Amino acid sequence: MSRIKVRKNLQIKFLSDIRKILGVSKWREMAKILKVHPRSLSDWKNGRYTLPENIFRECIQLTDGKIGVPPYKILPDFWNVKTAGKKGAFVRNKLYGSPGTLEGRRKGGLISQKRRKLHPELYQHCCIGRRKNISIPPRSPELAEFFGIILGDGEITDNQVIISLNKENNKNYSFFIRKLVKKLFNINAPIYYYHTPTHENEITVTISSKNLVDFLSSNGLKKGNKVKQQVGVPKWIKAKTRFSKSCLRGLIDTDGGVYYHNHKSHGCKCFNIGLAFSNRSFPLSNFVKDTLSLLGFTPKFGSREFDVYLYRESEVYRYAKEIEFHNPYHDERLRKFKKHKAVFLGRSTPNWHGTGLENQRA
């Protein structure tokens, strides 16, 4: 409720004058007229507390303008919260000490550890001092795809698995990854959006679980920098075609995708589509090329030995049909290509320059 700020001596005089105008001899009678508790009116008339705005307005109305209104200021709702908070913090620190002191933090830590030991079931969500329980999935195409996602855009530390994605293009794909993690391991994977200048276009799917890190390590993945270690696909995935196919999807959904190229061939203008994969870990590039070949495609290495391409339009569509994209961004680019190709064949060629469609790669 808004309050009226009046100088203390003016507030005392204001209420005294109103009592005289109303013709009441006792403050208790005036409290009945204003429908307030006598103790509240006593505090106001002595200047201990500010007046509620509704009481102030009612006093003016009761006198029919016969009283001069003193200079005042309207205080908004919760105007005193900041001051009250400071006073409360001062009293609390005086009784228990500052929470920022070394002694205070140590005391809080000891109390927290004691509570964790007494009630461990209440702290299963916290990975400090207690490992999260996870479901251990069997080897499956879904698990192989998750391994491909990690090998593409993932990073494994001692306690976390972090999958970094482009905020603009892969937001919907991050939801797919989160659902996949829940299905495989029955743990939640929060999505973090970054706003710092160096990571403003980045989102991460972050899984904090030492048990998950141990599981991935025991099944062929490595912690640390993938390029420096030149990591490859685990043997259990390469041993079965259906696992290799799923892992391939995870790799291309993260480190590959559909691209367009507008060029001339023998003097004729051409507008084509391709599928590309790029990763500086050569074992991964070799796996992508070998798996595509195994599945009947005709992949080629690019000018850089870690780039793998499908140049034939028919094979790009076949890939989308038989292997599929789980990253919606690649499907959307495929649909857009169909529209632009129709325009191109209709000899109503759009202005490709500056549209982001010329020589564009996912």
Place of tokens 């461990």: 120
Q: Stretch 110-127: mean pLDDT, rounded?
A: 73
Ranges 130-134, 255-259, 287-291, 323-327: which has the least confidence: 130-134
Supply the pLDDT for residue 265: 66
Q: pLDDT for 139-150, tens place per residue?
A: 999 999 999 999
When pLDDT is cut at 50, 70 and 90, the band that residue 92 belongs to is confident
User: 70 pLDDT exceeds 60?
Assistant: yes
Q: Choose among 260, 255, 242, 267: nearest CA to 323.
A: 242
User: 24 pLDDT exceeds 80?
Assistant: yes
Counting every residue, how long is the chain? 362
Q: Stretch 47-58: mean pLDDT, rounded?
A: 87
Which CATH code, of 1.10.260.40, 3.90.1150.10, 3.90.1300.10, 1.10.730.10, is assigned to 3-79?
Answer: 1.10.260.40
Ranges 128-132, 209-213, 331-335: which has the least confidence: 128-132
Q: Stretch 202-230: mean pLDDT, rounded?
A: 94
Q: Stretch 211-217: mean pLDDT, rounded?
A: 95
Report yes or no: 230 and 281 within 8 Å, Cβ to Cβ: yes
Distance in angstroms (rounded) separating the CA atoms of residues 139 and 219: 9
Same topology for domains 3-79 and 141-231, yes or no? no
Q: Angle CA(59)–CA(61)–CA(62) in degrees, nearest 5?
A: 65
User: 173 pLDDT exceeds 50?
Assistant: yes
Supply the pLDDT for residue 352: 39
Structural class in CATH, domain 141-231: alpha beta
Supply the pLDDT for residue 19: 87
User: 358 pLDDT exceeds 60?
Assistant: no
Q: pLDDT for 250-309, tens place per residue?
A: 999 999 999 887 766 666 777 788 999 999 999 999 999 999 999 999 999 998 889 999
Rounded percentage of the chain residues whose pLDDT exceeds 90: 46
Which CATH code, of 3.10.28.10, 3.30.1360.170, 3.90.550.10, 1.10.3720.10, is assigned to 248-345?
Answer: 3.10.28.10
User: 181 pLDDT exceeds 70?
Assistant: yes
State the chain's mean pLDDT as an integer.
85
Supply the pLDDT for residue 147: 98
From the number of C-beta atoms within 10 Å of its C-beta (0-12, 13-18, 19+), residue 260 rates as buried
User: 8 pLDDT exceeds 50?
Assistant: yes
Distance in angstroms (rounded) separating the CA atoms of residues 343 and 340: 5
When pLDDT is cut at 50, 70 and 90, the band that residue 343 belongs to is low
> CB-side exposure of 148: number of CA atoms within 13 Å?
32
Supply the pLDDT for residue 126: 59
Supply the pLDDT for residue 353: 40
Ranges 44-58, 70-84, 188-202, 233-247: which has the least confidence: 70-84
User: 63 pLDDT exceeds 90?
Assistant: no
Where along the chain do its domains lie? 3-79, 82-123, 141-231, 248-345
Distance in angstroms (rounded) separating the CA atoms of residues 14 and 4: 12
User: 59 pLDDT exceeds 90?
Assistant: no
Q: Which comes out higher in pLDDT, residue 45 or 262?
A: 45
Supply the pLDDT for residue 355: 38
